[in-house]
Amino acid sequence: MTGKKQLMIEPSWCKGCGICVAFCPREALELMNGKVHLKDADSCVLCGMCEMRCPDYAIYLKNAEE
C-alpha cells in the first residue's frame, strides 16, 4: 500500500485561494493565472499538506500508476 505517490492537480476545480501555496512546507507550488501550478516538482516531497487544506479538492496525492 505504500507505493509511490504522485501529485495531481484538477485546474478546473481550483479557485486560486492560495492556501496550498502558503502552507506547502517546501514552497513547491505557485499561482499562475489564478490557478495552482507545480513550480518545482523536485522539491515536492509528496507530504500531502496541500491536499489536506485545499477547500476545493483540486490538489491531491494519488498512487502512481505502474
Partner 1 sequence: MPSDLIHEYMRIDHLPHIWCAGCGNGTIMRDVAVALDELITDPEFALTRDQVVIVSGIGCSSRAAGYMDFNSIHTTHGRAIAFATGIKLANPRLEVIVLTGDGDASAIGGNHLIHAARRNIGLTVICFDNLIYGMTGGQYSPVTPHGDKATTAPYGNVDRPFDVAKLAEGAGASYTARGDIYHVRETIDIIKQGIKHKGFSLIDVYSTCPTYYGRKNKKGEAVDMLKWQKENLIPVSKYYTLSEQAKEGKLVIGPLHHSNYPEYSAEYAKIIEACKEAKKGK
Contacts with partner 1 by CB under 8 A lie at 8, 10, 12-13, 15-19, 21-23, 51-58, 60-62
Judged by CB, which is closer to ligand SF4: 2, or 12?
12
Contacts of 46 (CB under 8 A, 6+ apart): 5, 6, 7, 61
Q: Is 44 in the site for ligand SF4 (CB under 6 A)?
A: no
Q: Is 7 in the site for ligand SF4 (CB under 6 A)?
A: no
58 in Cβ contact with 18 (< 8 Å):
no
Q: Is 24 in the site for ligand SF4 (CB under 6 A)?
A: no
The CA distance from 27 to 49, in Å, is 11
